[in-house]
């Protein structure tokens, strides 16, 4: 039997055999590629210092979560402090004056200590030759139930005109 006749009769078998060889080559190339990718992945997971990259990433995630919890706590504390400072005496007005004409210098003063809403106290110190008197008057929304001197009113206006 001649080879050409045999090839012509088994042409379908040769095509199948050729496809099978081609598929075996593709499988071999893909296996080599998979082996190389797997080796690179293992090197990557090992990390540069020999540590497991997955453990390093998990530690970073845990650390990030701890920082987020701490940040939330700080935010809550900040809100509490803002609420507390809203009621603090942070507006200050000072007016110095000479209470007695026979005294030299502006030794007397009126000092207003107020919240941003105008609540607090005004202190007035009257300095004489032999004595010093201090008066305290409560203030609500910039006004007092007690009679205020001109100097005390000036100190309150100075305190209320502050921009904080």
Q: How many domains does the chain have?
A: 2
Q: Which pair of structure tokens corresponds to residue 53?
A: 């990259």
- Edge to edge, what strands does the sheet with 120-127 contain? 91-97, 108-114, 120-127, 132-139
Nearest to 155 by CA among 124, 116, 111, 123: 111
**What is the spatial distance between Cα 118 and Cα 157, in angstroms, rounded to a whole number?**
10
State how far Cα 23 lies from the chain centre. Answer: 59
Give yes or no: residues 17 and 78 share one domain: yes
pLDDT, average across residues 14-33: 93
Q: 122: Cβ–Cβ under 8 A, 6 or more apart, which residues?
A: 110, 111, 112, 113, 136, 137, 139, 144, 148, 152, 155, 156
Q: What percent of the chain has pLDDT over 90?
A: 48
Are 149 and 133 in contact by the 8 Å Cβ rule? The answer is: no
Top-confidence residue, 164 or 61? 61
pTM as predicted:
0.53
Give yes or no: residues 80 and 61 share one domain: yes
Give yes or no: residues 96 and 61 share one domain: no
State how far Cα 43 lies from the chain centre. Answer: 37
pLDDT, average across residues 41-53: 73
β-partners of residue 73 are: none
The answer to the question of residue 24 being in a domain is yes
Give yes or no: residues 64 and 109 share one domain: no
**pLDDT above 90 for 78:** yes
Q: What is the DSSP letter of 100?
A: S
pLDDT in tens, 82-138: 888 777 888 899 999 888 877 767 889 999 999 888 899 999 999 888 888 999 999
Give the domain range for residue 112.
Answer: 91-160
- Residue 164: the pLDDT is 46
**What is the spatial distance between Cα 64 and Cα 58, in angstroms, rounded to a whole number?**
10
The answer to the question of residue 33 being in a domain is yes
Give yes or no: residues 38 and 96 share one domain: no
């Amino acid at each position: 039997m001649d080879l050409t006749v045999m090839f012509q009769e088994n042409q379908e078998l040769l095509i199948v055999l050729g496809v099978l060889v081609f598929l075996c080559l593709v499988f071999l190339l893909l296996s080599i590629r998979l082996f190389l990718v797997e080796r690179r992945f293992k090197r990557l997971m090992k990390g540069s210092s020999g540590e497991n990259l997955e453990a390093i990433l998990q530690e970073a995630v845990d650390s990030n979560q701890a920082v987020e919890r701490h940040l939330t706590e700080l935010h809550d504390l900040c809100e509490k402090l803002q609420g507390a400072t809203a009621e603090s005496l942070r507006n200050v007005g000072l007016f110095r004056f000479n209470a007695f004409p026979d005294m030299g210098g502006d030794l007397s003063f009126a000092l207003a200590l107020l919240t941003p809403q105008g609540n607090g106290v005004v202190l007035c110190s009257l300095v004489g030759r032999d004595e010093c008197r201090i008066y305290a008057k409560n203030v609500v929304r910039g006004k007092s139930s007690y009679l205020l001197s001109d100097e005390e009113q000036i100190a309150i206006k100075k305190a209320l005109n502050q921009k904080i």
